[in-house]
Structure 1
């Protein structure tokens, strides 16, 4: 989870527990109804599942306006940061390189783990059973697609139509072009437009908050349908899913240590000792913002980072940099793809990588439960993977979310050390160039 107020953080912590409880109760109630029957029969089952579909559609309706507005505002903030000095530009370059590397790793790790430790066929079919029709529809739609089709989707001839048809890659490309074009305007025109899109994004987030308040009911309804069809056999697959996502993030954290050692020119022991207290704060709060004071203190006191570098790079990292976002998000999408039998080819990798990079920047600062759907659903849609399973995966996100935050703060410290380029003396020279 990223920056959010203590009150909201407490709300979402309580909500996470309720959603997880609703998942367990829904699966249990559905399994019991499968054995003992359900009052009202098929009519009652359809009504409960319709309630779950209504809740899912309420989440889906926010995706396009939220992603578009967040991208425009995010690009504007990055452009403003880049204009603030050479050190900020160097930091943004480091962030960009690390995010690209994380996306490449994400596909290698996600596909690799699912190849070595694939989804159990029986459990996977059970979990996918509730949306089998949708999966078959998507599978037919991606057959025959190739690099030519991918290139044709990069520039939508009609952005409004692309949004209406969930052609999310076209929407993302147009939003990126729109955002960068907006940075070329003078301040008199740019500021009110940026304020407008910031207001749109905040409005969408309020709607998502409202929808998430009904998450226990929505997740219960969706999981009830799964339990009714499959019994409790889907529970093991959910545990396997958590393991795959966490393993992908643990691998990324180990790579961040290697990057810090090689490019930050710091020993493993020194970096590990500096990062450990920050990681403890991240574990307990699940908030990069709450971990910022500890990051600044450890970077200055134990990593040889100057006050100037720590004071600029670390807040900027919290504001625009989430290295675990593409890794965790793509791990979820790749898991769903294997679950539904959706093939992952070169065009899906290219599309998924572009959208994953874009939403990792756009969704920074959103609470974990909000960013889960806002970040992953666009990637699913772009890669042709059904999103119907995401609400159930949201219910168990509380565990992967811990490792998201730990990975983010670890990468922030590594980035600060890399930007510093050495111990304190190098930082003084960098600070003088701001």
Structure 2
């Protein structure tokens, strides 16, 4: 009896007969031989049907298969250096589950809107599969990095009573008789967790009701948000650069075939090794104004500015010490220069923009109370957050990495819509 196998596991069955549940990705025929390109989610393999070696029923069943038809195929595993997988299947049997008709995504070119409307099917393509495998590897390496370094995974709530950063770009809902919002960040809750566990991280969905249609923005996206007690900004920067280096190199080591499918320049990723260059906001302003931009001190950077700065480096670059007025209320001012805060954005190379934002947090209760008043934050909604400063306050720092922007950069994608299985974009909630 044929052993049940997946395509990725056929390497353990060379010379043996196996049975694989799969779909037909493509096929071609050459007279009395049919070449079936099969996929099962774990990989791809070519199955060869030779008319003289199978029954008439098996030959005709193979002939009737159409794109994305589902079947069980039985065959002998052969080594084949010419194939991408290194193996080939000599077919002995075919059991059809369903013959598909009029599969909408054909090998011809399709527009983006069409593909997005059929995202549930587009995921089956070679390119989209490669992106999702790399995404899964990134997630695995994120958890490995923090777990191996003593961080504890903590899950913040998705429904919150207030904004994390004092913005209004939130999705509002009713929580019985109260107002509630979908979270835009788990950071404030992670600060509370850090006061209990020392080093923590969250990994979950966040939501921004920002009416933006740029290639870098999603409405629903995933964030990795570590928070560390007894840690200053510069210690946090070291963690960030080690973290990003670890993630990138794990993808290079484990997903080379997928990166090649995406035609990614792997040599650029191999160069991503800590430490990363650092410049101050002041130095960034000086560079931009000397190179064709007019950016007054005190303004935030947009995508063109970040790209221009990143082009100077092959590594991600930190921009530190932004003006206090353009950053979140919880960021600690530089004691030597209170008009700037102890913060940093990490800008990815190749025009992918900010992938990490982080800072040292205010730990002085009086200063935090002052910030509450300046930003007109509700004492009632934020009382619990003030308690963190009243009861055992300590220096602490944290950061947030956007998963989808990171996937886009590592994969070399033009738009974040391909970085998540079912993207939520402005005016797109289907499928």
Normalising by structure 1, we get a TM-score of 0.23
Higher relative contact order (CA 8 A, sep 6+): 1
Higher strand share: 2
Higher helix share: 1
Greater gyration radius = 2
Normalising by structure 2, we get a TM-score of 0.23
